[in-house]
Chain A
Amino acid sequence: MALFIFKRLIQSVFVMIAVAFLAFSLFRFVGDPVSQMTGVETSVADQDRLREELGLNDPIVAQFYRFTSDLLHGEFGYSYRTRQPVASMIATRIPATLELGVVALLISLLVGIPAGVFTALRPKGLTSQTILLTTLVGVSIPTFVIGILLIFLFGVQLGWLPTFGRGGTVQIGGWTSSLFTLDGWRSLLLPALTLGIYQLTLTMRLVRAEMMEVMQSDYIRFATARGIPYRSLYFRHALANTMIPVITIIGLQFGGVIAFSIVTESVFQWPGMGLLFLESIRFVDIPVMGVYLVVIAFFFVLVNLLVDLLYFAIDPRLRVKEDV
């Protein structure tokens, strides 16, 4: 097991270096960093001095080394657009995106897993067929359309919920949270639903497929023959064996949640990292784009590592395999 974790760690480091190199190439080769930082009236001599100060005349390898060591020390440079340190820009946006993502993920799992189990156990029933058809439409409807639809229904027609911004927030340490006020929850509900509905259909379909396969396996047939009560059969024997794919989905969906949070944040003007990234693309704000990539990749790698560790915790067979 230690060997496996070690291998995975090495892989993660490899991915992080690749992403850091991508961010570095963005900064170094897309557009000229010096002309981005200076105005038209800056003299050529001053530009050359800045070039030397930034170390842009050093060998590329040395530059890349300095870039990564700055990243590791949390020095992310300055935004071309706002002239603020990128680190603090990202830090103020992270809570908004994480809260949105976690609530959306919870919605997708708490609704998606039971629905998946249900449709797997009664595949021919009318309810299951209806649910399945709905999810097929669900995966085809773009996230932004779901968002517009929810805004139209609950914001415009019914007027129940706010349609943009974060509402009331509470400051806890350095974390600005919308989870502790009613107003904050009201603002969170529509974006989280938008993000959650799309993920939900994927969760449901995966759990269903997995559950159907498990239900056809020999040990379930054997357990049925032994007369084990259905409740125990479904929820102890069968569902326990679908937990591995469910953990995999959590890992996979984290990626989806991050990606589609860009869209959701744009529709609802939710002040998270996605919105920041979008603005940075619009204004070709390379440092922010690069740092966003590095931060997101770091979260990805972290979640995937946790998922792998959870496998070992849940499935004893994996531990046995290691000894063979």
Chain B
Amino acid sequence: MLGRIWRSDGMWLFWRSPAAVLAAIVAIVIIGGALLSPWIVATSPYDLASFSLMDGLLPPLWQGGDPRFPLGTDDQGRDMIAAILFGARLSLTIGLMAMAIASVLGIGLGLAAGYFGGRFDAIVMRIADVQLALPAILTALLIDGISRGLLPPDVQQSFRVAVLTLAIALSLWVNFARTARASVFVERNKDYVQAAIMMGQHPLRVMTYHILPNILGPLLVIMTVDLASAILLEATLSFLGIGLPADSPSLGTLIRIGMQFLLSGEWWILWVPTLFLVALVVSINILGDFLRDVFNPKVR
């Protein structure tokens, strides 16, 4: 399997595209750093005992900072590198989880709607229409607001991450559903699908075993793009103060905190996490753009 990917047309195109290679390197470094953060950085930004106020507001190294903190510290004396790596870890976890939920839900509903058609298809698509009328961020905000009304205040904090993930997932599933449905319409009348149906295979098997692998290309593109959207949505919601609380900082929360230093000289508290977020999203989007070109030979 890996060998096949390695020798594929896509890999050949990949090595010929400097932007894609660079984006992949940046994405791997950031994601790797975020995943391995507990082992890379000496101090956890969550551990109150591990940092001291005496180290507060140290500038980055090249502006005469402390060698222990290459990118400086915030007002609490937290190492900026530790903060952004842990922040990115949370952002990525939420982004990946939301994307996974959205894709399973969306692809499942889209496959079924396209395969069975009729009333089920009509209901799913009407829901999708109404939801498309509301932009993703509005949907996510709304779901978050509803959860605030439904959950008692004392349990809200512990469910923040789950609620946020679900809100993002539910605002992104429509793309998957529409694409899957449209692809199924194309595939369903092809001979191999008809043959499988005539052999009396279960619809579930036809859908997952025969149709799904053949429509995976465009879905993969959406997954990449939606991962970027999910990360952006989380950052935006956290920035707005709707997402995560300040004690478990994601990249968006860190930027929100950094805003307090916009007017004073401590630029790094704001701009380090901001640059980090932008680099992450830009590289994922470039990879998405590259994948789109690979799966869409017409525009090559």
Chain B contacts for A297, CB-based, 8 A = 133-134
Interface locus among A102-110, A166-174, A181-189, A258-266: A258-266
Report whether B144 and A281 are in contact in the complex, using a CB–CB cutoff of 8 Å.
yes
A284 with B148, Cβ < 8 A, contacts A136-B282, A152-B262 known: yes
Report whether B242 and A141 are in contact in the complex, using a CB–CB cutoff of 8 Å.
no
A140 with B228, Cβ < 8 A, contacts A259-B137, A263-B137, A293-B142 known: yes
Cβ < 8 Å to B, chain A residues 222-263: 255-256, 258-260, 262-263
Query: Any chain A CB within 8 A of the CB of B278?
Result: yes
Query: Any chain B CB within 8 A of the CB of A144?
Result: yes
Interface locus among B42-50, B64-72, B231-239: B231-239
Nearest residue, chain A, Cβ from B153:
A284
Cβ < 8 Å to A, chain B residues 280-300: 281-282, 284-286, 289
Query: Any chain A CB within 8 A of the CB of B253?
Result: no
Nearest residue, chain A, Cβ from B259:
A148
**Which residue of the partner chain, among B241, B278, B282, B284, contacts A282 with CB atoms under 8 Å?**
B241
Report whether B278 and A148 are in contact in the complex, using a CB–CB cutoff of 8 Å.
no
Main secondary structure of the interface of B (DSSP, over half): helix
**Which residue of the partner chain, among A15, A139, A263, contacts B236 with CB atoms under 8 Å?**
A263
In Å, the complex CA distance between A286 and B145 comes to 8
Q: With both chains docked as a complex, state the minimum distance between the C-beta of A16 and any C-beta of chain B, in angstroms.
A: 10
Query: Any chain A CB within 8 A of the CB of B206?
Result: no
Q: What's the count of A-B pairs with C-beta under 8 Å?
A: 102
Count chain A residues whose beta carbon lies closer than 8 angstroms to a beta carbon of B: 40
Report whether B282 and A300 are in contact in the complex, using a CB–CB cutoff of 8 Å.
no
Q: With both chains docked as a complex, state the minimum distance between the C-beta of B241 and any C-beta of chain A, in angstroms.
A: 7
Report whether A30 and B135 are in contact in the complex, using a CB–CB cutoff of 8 Å.
no
Report whether A144 and B135 are in contact in the complex, using a CB–CB cutoff of 8 Å.
no
**Which residue of the partner chain, among A148, A260, A262, contacts B262 with CB atoms under 8 Å?**
A148
Interface contacts beyond A255-B134, A300-B133: sample of 13 additional A-B pairs, CB < 8 Å, sorted by A:
A19-B130, A137-B278, A139-B285, A140-B232, A141-B278, A141-B281, A144-B235, A145-B274, A148-B274, A255-B135, A262-B137, A284-B149, A289-B145
Which chain B residues have a beta carbon within 8 Å of chain A's beta carbons?
Answer: 129-130, 133-138, 141-142, 144-146, 148-150, 228, 232, 235-236, 239-242, 255, 259, 262-263, 270, 274, 277-278, 281-282, 284-286, 289
